[in-house]
Amino acid sequence: MSSLTDLSVHELHELLIKREVSAVEVAKTYLKRIDEVDSKVRAYLTLTPDQALAQAEEADRCLSRDVEEATPLTGIPMGIKDVICTCGVRTTCGSRMLENFVPPYSATVIERLEAHGAVMLGKLNMDEFAMGSSTENSAFYPTHNPWDLERVPGGSSGGSAASVAARTCACSLGSDTGGSIRQPSSHCGVVGMKPTYGRVSRYGLVAFASSLDQIGPITRDVTDCALLLNVISGYDPRDSTSIPRDVPDYTLSLIPGLEGCTIGLPKEYFVSGLDPDVERAVKTAVSALEGQGARLVEVSLPHTEYAVATYYIIAPAEASSNLSRYDGVKYGLRAQGFKDLTDMYKKTRSQGFGPEVKRRIMIGTYSLSSGYYDAYYKKASQVRTLIVQDFRHAFKDCDVIAAPVAPTSAFRLGEKVDDPLQMYLSDIFTIPANLAGIPGISVPCGMDHNGLPIGLQLMATHFGEQSLLKAAYNLELAMGPWRNWPAV
């Protein structure tokens, strides 16, 4: 039998309900794996072994009482991005500002996972306040890509993707504001989905850009992604942006064959600057989908070239507002040795925030300031509407859009850290989906000449997760299950 840490969530579930293995045994195996390899990968910021074993014991009691009570996540060890509040467990957002913050409540997604018997192994590293594309902006340490420890895992959910690839958790949760689930999933060779904005509750997600942030699953395969999405989706009255809409059983979308499905290829995404290995892998994957019965058409998303500029006005503007709460008064870091209240604010924010967060707060504050609001924020909001209309028009001609996730595979640690613009451009293919609020998924589709993973991005119209999962599942059927994991 494969090592327990090599198995998918649904494979582990089968063993657990047959009582061939206990949830405690699975949890201990994962904790041992973390002990062996996480000193190299550095995916975790906080480990919760005692809580994990207590939850695993409860899962075993549930399984022994009545297997029918068990859910597909009962006894499954997970990691949680450290931007999601966990009651009684430190939640740092990868920042010195919240280094010792322990939330008094849990996010809705955590409550739902706990109700389904999931086991939390710990909290995962990330770019500070989810601002970054490489997890090098963490205030504590960078996470390393399990495929090549000299390279980035992507960001901002780098710890979430790296932990799944390194087999230090069976699945994880990340958050995606401009590609922060899909890009690291592509770089680490795992499946990652950003659901439709409003499909998953943001209550308890520490805000970066409230009109863009969305929580989503990172998993070994598409089946696991559907299982996790079933649990975390659904209306939450505590989140004013949550949409009251029934949640389908996403696993029912996992059926062979794409007859009647039209896949659009946006001409603006296949441009110069796209790495030849990425282009080859993406085109091979698209051909595989065609082989499953899909019809291919070219579509146009003409405002794609403005997406990065639009995002880097809207997101920092919202961040400037959201991060104003970190002032040293109510919670979080408070600087010492201040003269008065203004001095305390200044010193606390100077010491508590890292360079990238400060950069975005300044950009955002500038774009919202008197005299510049119309020129920047208002104009960006208008362009955002044009991007939404581009997708709406494209989806009249296709069911799913296929494109690269990122222009290249994982780059080297330190390679772009001093060039913010180059770092920002690594999100050029993922940002438009966030601006439009549509769902997107990254599915492994090949390797580059250095043996690094490459992902295919699929996007669908609002609440089109079923179409995405069906197409992604058929890609796995056509290309064979992704069972190629790094040795670390």
Residues labelled catalytic: 81, 156, 180
CA distance 387 to 242: 22
DSSP-H helix ranges across 3-104: 9-17, 23-41, 49-65
Phi first, then psi: what are they for 297, rounded to 5°? -135, 155
Contact 193, 230 (CB under 8 A): no
Q: What is the DSSP string of 419-458?
A: -HHHHHHTTTTTHHHHHHT--EEEEEEEE-TTS-EEEEEE
Closest C-alpha to 247, from 465, 439, 443, 70: 465
The CA radius of gyration of the chain, in Å to the nearest whole number, is 21
| CA distances, 313 to each of 207, 361, 368, 374 (Å) | 16, 11, 9, 12
Place of tokens 């192994």: 121
Which tokens hold the place of 224?
């696991």
CA distance 28 to 34: 10
Which tokens hold the place of 427?
């999100």
CA distance 20 to 364: 54
* Cα dihedral across residues 413, 415, 420, 424: positive or negative: negative
SS3 assignment, position 185 = helix
- 194 secondary structure, DSSP code: E
Q: How many alpha carbons lie under 13 Å from residue 380 in its C-beta half-sphere?
A: 21
b/e code 406-440 from CB counts within 10 Å (16+ = b): bbbbbbebebbbeeeeebbbbbbbbbbbbbbbbbb
Closest C-alpha to 45, from 168, 150, 146: 168
Query: What is the CA 435 to chain-centroid distance, rounded?
Result: 16
Which tokens hold the place of 191?
């499946």
Q: Would residue 457 be called left, alpha or beta, if left means φ above 0 and alpha means ψ between -120 and 50 degrees? A: beta
Determine whether 136 is exposed, middle or buried from the number of CB atoms within 10 Å of its CB (0-12, 13-18, 19+): buried
Cis peptide before 163 (omega within 30 of 0): no
What is the helix (H) or strand (E) element at residue 122, kind and residue range? strand 119-124
Please name the residues in contact with 283: beta carbons below 8 A apart, sequence gap of 6 or more: none
